Amino acid sequence: MKSKQTKLWTLAAVVAICVAVFFAVYCTGNKEAAVSPTEDSSQFVTLTDAVPDAILEIRYFGTYNFVGDRIDGYLEPTALLTKAAADSLRAVSDDVIKQGYRLKIYDAYRPQKAVDHFVRWAEDLSDTRMKDYFYPDLDKSVLFDQEYICAKSGHTRGSTVDLTLFDMATEKELDMGGTFDWFGPESHPDFCGNPDTGEYTGDNAKSPAGRSITEEQFRNRMILRQAMLRHGFKAFPTEWWHFTLKDEPFPDTYFTFPVKQL
């Protein structure tokens, strides 16, 4: 009897571990479990050294973000990327400049301590200072279950970037129909259209508040998306602003050094 009970407990433990590994992998968008942390920044560059035309608005260095505070690990308002990702982003920049735009960067490499800060914030259900701006349709208690907050982020591997386009003619950000870091289906690349074909459908059935974006706003998202895909990046299914280098050089490594000029 004791042996049978021991086997059951062992089986339960194995199942729990498998589930935990599955969700860790799923949240980061990586098929392999990435578990190697390191302080080594030798394969990184300051993004604007590689892409001098980029405009920086590093949201996590300031307080206009979903937390409402400067995020741990952001020591300077700069952006870092792996050399490989920065080289590809330079090609994207050259591409969109010919179309009359410049890249505007919200975030790039994100140290693990910043992700840990997000987790602590999400666990504090009483802190809803920025709810009206970033997650008005959600109760904060669902952020883990719906994977808006995860214990690991692809950004920490160093080849992911959050960005938009700046229109040189109007001298304003291109209107994407929604803000960076909006928690909701309105941020999905397939909201109101088909990102694979570029077709606008106007289908806003997924929006809990009946929000929508216009055909022009959807088209603007596609200008960014198509330029990123042309130059070696892959899109993220729930955020129109989020792209990762397909052949990222460190798919199994999570970096821990802070964001500051290299």
Could you list the active site residues?
A: 239
Q: Quickly list DSSP for the chain.
A: -HHHHHHHHHHHHHHHHHHHHHHHHHHHT-SS---EEE---TTEEEHHHH-TT-EE--GGGSS-SSSSSPPTTB-SS--EEEHHHHHHHHHHHHHHHHTTEEEEEEE----HHHHHHHHHHHH-TT--TTHHHH-TTS-GGGTTTTTSS-S--GGGGT-EEEEEEEETTTTEE---SS-TT--SGGGSTTTTEETTTTEE----TT-TT-----HHHHHHHHHHHHHHHHTTEEEETTEEEEEEETT-S-TTEEE---BS--
